[in-house]
Structure 1
């Protein structure tokens, strides 16, 4: 199943106006989960958890300094504003060199006034953060790279 940017925006708009508390949709290269009004959430975020990763690459990048065979790109599953921390003044989710595990939140994408927590499906080490905090991002844009461990 493929989901383009327009379809994703329509789906998010529909879900934002609905009474649906939990929703999950999976395709070949994406997963969208929506969970609202759950008692375990202690912030003012309306979390939508989305994950998008690209498969490991077979080339080199950064002037040959990093062999990308063991790297996974974390990509933006939607257009939005990229935030490295849950709120201004709070610690960032990850830094360069941070070890991450499956299901760990690595950033937030704000889209249509919804705060979307981006979780990873891989374990490894953050080796690149390619977007500045508070910067608008495009659908499919690479946000971070993870070295698989």
Structure 2
């Protein structure tokens, strides 16, 4: 499954304009999960009215401003032990700051003697490693967080 940035932006807008807290989209191999951050005032999915204010005195949104990069999580497709590198490989598959493309292998899950691939459903840059190597992870547990590129960054490419 290929998910491009305009599709992700559309899903984020739909999530923001609904009462849905978590939106998952995927197939049998990849998954994109968008989740509202309802615990923090000023969350990008909350309006001033949601925060108890009337919205009066809030500066208008500049339609020409570039959107900030959006964080997205890569999740485990199965239960297993998280491995950040292939056996006998000295370097991790990705690290903070690594550029990740759609479908790229970002880690492995070890379930008994079987190694299961964990692939990214979106392109981006690794912002946070959420799971340490060797830790048991659950199905759909986030293992790393990506910063997606801004729309302008993708539009300038040939």
Instruction: Give the aligned partner of residue 29 of structure 1.
Output: 25
Please say which of residues 82-91 and 126-135 is displaced more in the overlay: 82-91
Instruction: Give the aligned partner of residue 59 of structure 1.
Output: 37
1:128 aligns with 2:128: yes
* Bigger strand fraction: 1
Deviations 1:107-148 (A, max 9, x none): 001124211111112110010111111111111211111111
Instruction: Give the aligned partner of residue 50 of structure 2.
Output: none
Q: What TM-score does the superposition give when structure 2 sets the normalisation length?
A: 0.55
CA distance in 2, matches of 1:113, 1:122: 28
Gaps of 5+ in 1: 1-27, 33-49
The aligned length equals 102
Show structure 1 runs of 4+ deviating over 6 A: 66-69
Deviations 1:36-71 (A, max 9, x none): xxxxxxxxxxxxxx433312x45389x99x979711
Instruction: Give the aligned partner of residue 117 of structure 1.
Output: 117
Query: Between Structure 1 and Structure 2, whose CA radius of gyration is higher?
Result: 2
Q: Which has the higher contact order (CA 8 A, sep 6+)?
A: 2
Q: What TM-score does the superposition give when structure 1 sets the normalisation length?
A: 0.58
